[in-house]
Amino acid sequence: MTYSNLVDFIHQQKSYLCVGLDSDETKIPIHLQKNTNAIIDFNREIIDVTADFCVAYKINTAFYEAYGAKGWEIIEKTLEFIPKTHFKIADAKRGDIGNTSDKYAQTFFQTFDFDAVTVAPYMGKDSIMPFLNYENKWVILLALTSNEGNKDFQHLTLENGQKLFEKVLETSQNWGNENKIMYVIGATNPIELKSIREKYPKHFFLVPGVGAQGGDLNEVSQTAINDNIGLFINASRSILYASNGYDFAEKAKEEAQKMQKEMEKWIEK
């Protein structure tokens, strides 16, 4: 999916919502836990009721890899449920020496046909480039994450006065442009988010941390929207587990629709 395709779809949907499918068998409604295909059934219903209100789905592969071969089958089946119009993100946080990254890229871009994959930049350029060799596929580079532990390394000050996350952003400009690279910037870093947007006005940001982690949708929107919107705001638990009863799909729909309505105001500004 190209940059312009994404922008057009965001305006069509009047939404920049990404639904995170971090589906945990221990948290889904009890009546579904009894089913052999519990997570498959859960994901299908969530996708069915949220597709009209979002533009992307993010599959956190850890929640599926934990089940071994069955988990990869669930990922494959879940991808079949996602409409072809929607952007599909593999939240896999890969990144290794070149030949290994090449296989990771093959896994997510060829075998499973995701549109994007999250990648850790710690090992540098040669660990990222294999992912950038695919046409109309995206790298979503971890820059400043939403978790509390981001202070352990990402905020470290280098000798030149830069923060480590700032160095990641700067250096990665030499690897690819806004048509190939997006950045993970957590909603729990509002001050930094504003300064990053000012410095990188064209890139798409994937913003986790809204909802259950305390990030504010309107604050993020005000701070980080660019001329093309340029955002995917991810919501996982607040949508997936809006209810743990028989009405879980209805409540998930209500939460997704509520977020979409808030986003529509910003798109129409």
Residue 211 has pLDDT above 70, yes or no: no
Q: Residue 14: which of 63, 44, 53 has the closest Cα?
A: 53
pLDDT digits (tens, 9 = 90+) for 32-41: 988 889 999 9
Q: Residue 1: which of 109, 142, 129, 92 has the closest Cα?
A: 109
What are the strands, taking DSSP E only, across 120-262?
Answer: 138-144, 181-185, 205-207, 231-235
pLDDT value at residue 170: 97
Where exactly are the structural domains of the chain?
Answer: 3-267
Tokens of 32: 């579904």
Whether 93 is a known active-site residue: answer yes
Determine which helix (DSSP H) or strand (DSSP E) holds 60, and give its type and residue range.
Answer: strand 56-60
Mean pLDDT of the 100-122 span:
97
Specify the pTM.
0.96
Q: Which residues of 245-266 are buried (b: 16+ CB within 10 A; e: fewer)?
A: eeebbebbbbbbbebbeebeeb
pLDDT digits (tens, 9 = 90+) for 240-251: 999 999 999 999
Q: Residue 235: which of 86, 113, 54, 85 has the closest Cα?
A: 54
| CATH fold group of domain 3-267 | TIM Barrel (3.20.20)
Catalytic residue among 34, 70, 77, 93: 93
pLDDT value at residue 213: 62
Across-strand partners of 185? 144
pLDDT value at residue 48: 98
Return the biggest CA–CA distance within the chain: 57
pLDDT band at 212 (very low <50, low <70, confident <90, very high): low
pLDDT averaged over every residue in the chain: 95
User: Which is more confident, 244 or 213?
Assistant: 244
Q: Residue 245: which of 28, 25, 12, 19 has the closest Cα?
A: 28
pLDDT digits (tens, 9 = 90+) for 147-179: 889 999 999 999 999 999 999 999 999 999 999
Mean pLDDT of the 101-127 span:
97
Percent of the chain with pLDDT over 70: 99
